[in-house]
């Protein structure tokens, strides 16, 4: 005869060892991206949570938000004003999730250059995971006070556990920005695989010949989250390549 108490302990043990594997995807879509190619990839990416940068707030030719909603995602979007010469537009980071979003918040990292971070608290099993997505100022891969300020303001708002941070940091692995991030979070790709699309990335102020070997995009996690299977995808359509990772919570 089986001991009822033993069965209860066994069931509890099994429950404690059930983990959820979640696919996280991050991608800078580029405001001039080729929407048909971007859409083709997103339709087949099979990601549970998607963080996108350079999402436009009013462009019927690139209706990314409508596309993701049609694929069954709910989301949060943080557009900010950008101005270059006489050209003015709004774009920003967005988070889309097939898992329940229980709370959202937007943080301005600097008024100059209109850079923001967006947060979505997502219910995964019996945990709330804090998902952050951001896009720091493009500085031609050179260190600047403004980008450092944005990174400092970002670090101030990050919880110390149950947190995932993704985005286009516009900073290389050896920069102060990324070194500071790596002090408090875990880089899901310690190999620092390049993330730019040389066929489309155009940067007149960047060092010639190094674009193909440059990494600007990252997914970080707090130490309590296990990340594996990092991948840089070969999708076309943007001047950045999409990156993904599997997290276990």
Q: Per-residue pLDDT tens for 51-72?
A: 999 999 878 888 999 999 999 9
pLDDT at residue 4 in the model:
57
Residue 1 placed within a domain:
no
pLDDT at residue 12 in the model:
47
Average pLDDT, the chain: 91
- What is the CATH classification number for the domain harbouring 236? 3.60.10.10
List the domain range (segments joined by +) for residue 218: 19-248
pLDDT at residue 164 in the model:
98
Give, in degrees to the nearest 5, the angle at Cα 105 between 100 and 111: 150
pLDDT at residue 129 in the model:
98
Q: Per-residue pLDDT tens for 131-144?
A: 999 999 999 889 99
Using an 8 Å Cβ cutoff, are 116 and 134 in contact? yes
Residue 121 placed within a domain:
yes
Q: What residues does 113 pair with on adjacent strands?
A: none
* pTM, two decimal places: 0.90
pLDDT at residue 205 in the model:
65
The Cα 72–Cα 64 span in angstroms is 13
Domain count, the chain: 1
Residue 9 placed within a domain:
no
pLDDT at residue 216 in the model:
97
Residue 158 placed within a domain:
yes
């Amino acid at each position: 005869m089986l001991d009822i108490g033993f069965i209860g302990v066994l069931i509890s043990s099994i429950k404690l060892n059930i983990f959820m594997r979640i696919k996280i995807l991050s991608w800078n879509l580029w405001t001039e991206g080729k929407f048909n190619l971007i859409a083709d990839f997103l339709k087949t990416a099979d990601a549970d949570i998607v963080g996108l940068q350079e999402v436009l707030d009013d462009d019927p030719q690139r209706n990314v938000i409508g596309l993701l909603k049609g694929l069954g995602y709910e989301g949060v979007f943080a557009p900010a004003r950008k101005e270059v010469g006489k050209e003015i537009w709004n774009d920003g980071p967005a988070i889309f999730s097939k898992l329940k979003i229980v709370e959202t918040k937007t943080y301005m990292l600097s008024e100059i250059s209109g850079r923001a971070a967006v947060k979505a608290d997502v219910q995964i099993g019996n945990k709330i995971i804090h998902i952050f997505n951001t896009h720091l100022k493009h500085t031609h891969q050179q260190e600047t006070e403004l980008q450092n300020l944005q990174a400092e303001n970002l670090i101030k708002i990050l919880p110390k556990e149950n947190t995932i941070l993704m985005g286009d940091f516009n900073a290389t692995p050896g920069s102060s920005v990324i070194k500071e991030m790596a002090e408090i979070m875990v880089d899901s790709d310690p190999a620092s695989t390049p993330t730019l699309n040389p066929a489309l990335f155009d940067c007149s102020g960047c060092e010639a010949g190094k674009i193909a070997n440059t990494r600007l995009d990252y997914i970080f996690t707090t130490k309590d989250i296990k990340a594996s299977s990092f991948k840089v995808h070969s999708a076309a359509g943007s001047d950045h390549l999409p990156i993904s990772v599997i997290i276990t919570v």
